Amino acid sequence: MSAIPSVDLSDFLSDDPSQKEKFVREIGAAFEDIGFVALRGHFLSDDLVTNLYQEVKQFFALPDAVKAHYEIKGIGGQRGYTSFGKEHAKGRTEGDLKEFWHFGQYVENDPELAQEYPDNVTVKELPEFNPVGEETYKMLEKTAKYVLRALALHLDLEETYFDHYIKNGNSILRPIHYPPIVEEPKAAVRAAAHGDINLITLLMGAHGKGLQVQNHKGEWVDAIAQPDELMINVGDMLSRLTNNKLKSTIHQVVNPPRELWGTSRYSIPFFMHPISNMPLNCLANCIDEEHPKQFEDITAGEYLNERLVELGLIKK
């Protein structure tokens, strides 16, 4: 495929069984092929998106000394601010040309999980920053729940198979700022080629080109969502669970042409993670003689910890 397929979540939510089946078929085929899809009909309103970008831009425009106050030591960047160049892709040492913020789960009725996750960080300078972030988080989580229900049906599982694992899951909403490039970047890019750690990622339409997806021929394809679409991709956890039936596709954010180095880029992905004790053991119905088991048994929490070490966000 040379382009990213587009699907409409309202088909899945329809009372018409044939529309629902159409959505399951289309998203399943896309995730088996290129691992990316553009999704419309989600739960984000235009006003919410506008408000979030406004708050995010205001936060990243704060003085570095103010932002540094929100960089919390000892939690691997799971909440609050992570400063420029701290994170790098697996297998690389150059830091990506970005700074970012993490909103995490708003735990309901589970004191044990509330103890496991770090607290969200409140930005005192921007009274609407946290409320807008929380509402966005919940609308993207709701969207992701129905996408995973469709994928469960595609995998011949019970429709709500993932529901228990994603309720109060360790999901992250990450507003990213790629600042203007002020000098020759050497080997660094805005985000080096990588696969995501989690089950699925929902990406709000990034402001500006740059996201590229690698297809099966090794070619880089521009992934540009329409204003009313989310770009959704398979993460490594879902790839492991399905014995690579659903593809976690390598993607990157390339530096802009030199004439656009003076511009910022903003991007807001939502990384859908399950609770840490979810087993990622390959599903039995994804293993056969032609597709032998490719991955060792592991829990989501163990796998996440491995990957955060590889990304340089936590120490062994």
Look up residue 173 and give its two tokens: 């909403």
Is 116 domain-assigned?
Answer: yes
pLDDT in tens, 122-142: 999 999 999 999 999 999 999
pLDDT in tens, 30-63: 999 888 899 999 999 999 999 999 999 999 999 9
The total of structural domains in the chain comes to 1
Which CATH number belongs to the domain containing residue 102 in this structure? 2.60.120.330
Rounded to whole angstroms, the Cα distance separating 32 from 28 reads 6
Full-model pTM: 0.88
> Is residue 1 domain-resident?
no
The reply to whether 249 falls in a domain is yes
Range of the domain at 208: 6-310
- By CB neighbour count within 10 A (0-12 exposed, 13-18 middle, 19+ buried), where does 259 fall? exposed
| Strands 230-234, 36-40: pairing kind | antiparallel
Which of the two residues, 201 and 264, has the higher pLDDT score?
A: 201
Whether residue 264 lies inside any domain: the answer is yes
The predicted structure's pLDDT at residue 204: 83
